[in-house]
Amino acid sequence: MALVGLVFLLLPLRITSKPHDLFIHTFGGLLKIGSEAKITDLPGKLVSKETVSIELYNSLLEERSQLEDQFKEIYRRYIQLNEEFEQATGARQRLPDVGPGHIWAEVITFVPEKNEIDINRGEQDGIRKGLYVIGQDYLIGTVEQANNYSAKVQLLTSPEHSLIVEIEAVDDQGKNIYKRAFMKGDGKSGCVISGVETKYKIEQGNYIYAYAKPGYLNSPLIIGKVSEIKNDGLAPMNWQIKVVPSFDISTLERVFAVTMEPVEGGTKK
């Protein structure tokens, strides 16, 4: 299996992009089902093209949830194979489709005491507050402030930064799940997750994903891994989970902001 994955990664993009395009063509409509769908109060009867029965809606919602879980598992395996490939060749591979537009920027300064970076792109380039920022193939933070020609990015490690995430876990029925939780920066070089009940089995090394957010992020994106897990001293029935981000701020030179408004060629450099 690892050999097949490695061969797939070595194939030219014009070939490997076809399965992705086929997936989007086949399941794109299904993955958009959510808050935009209108539910009729007459179960079993379709009222118009804009409404669906509650049974159909729930069935599609469940199928969508299953597809999202399958995507996370494939993505996790992709990251593992990608790391192995990078170690063997020194090459880097492209990300999953996180959004239709990418605005590239150079890192101007890093402010350690504030856990933020300044970038050389601003409102004139389409940068705005709240946009997700990616560096070294991982989510690193969000735009906190944008001026005409520059912007400040608040890193995940900032104590002022919070984010909805999903953690690889096993529930009390033995089922593999992705447990949703809130994550905050620790003000140093990591992040902390609290409020997750100890009935969920979570282990060191489990991946943490940024939750896909409509209008900001199309696909779940890996943030980092669980570095330590122990009982919360203030709430013994909950875990206190420490997270080490996957990016290395000391070598971060270029980043890109994800925008839902397509730019020319999908990327503005």
Span 158-190, pLDDT tens digits: 999 999 999 999 999 999 999 999 999 999 999
Query: Exposed/middle/buried for 163, CB within 10 Å: 0-12, 13-18, 19+?
Result: buried
pLDDT above 50 for 201: yes
Which pLDDT belongs to residue 260?
72
* The predicted structure's pLDDT at residue 62: 87
Per residue in 37-78, pLDDT (tens digit) is 333 333 333 334 457 788 888 888 888 888 878 877 776 777
Higher pLDDT, 86 or 204: 204
Mean pLDDT score across all residues of the chain: 78
> Which pLDDT belongs to residue 52?
73
Q: Is the pLDDT of residue 36 over 80?
A: no
Q: Which two tokens stand for residue 7?
A: 């061969």
Q: What is the pLDDT of residues 130-155, one digit of tens each?
A: 999 999 888 999 999 999 999 999 99
pLDDT at position 132 is 93
User: What count of other Cβ atoms lies within 10 Å of the Cβ of residue 269?
Assistant: 11
CA 118 to chain centre: 22
Render 93-160 in DSSP notation, one character per residue.
Answer: -PPP---SEEEEEEEEEEEGGGTEEEES--GGGT--TT-EEEETTEEEEEEEEE-SS-EEEEETTSTT
The region of weakest confidence among 191-205, 234-248, 255-269 is 255-269
The CA distance from 171 to 165, in Å, is: 17
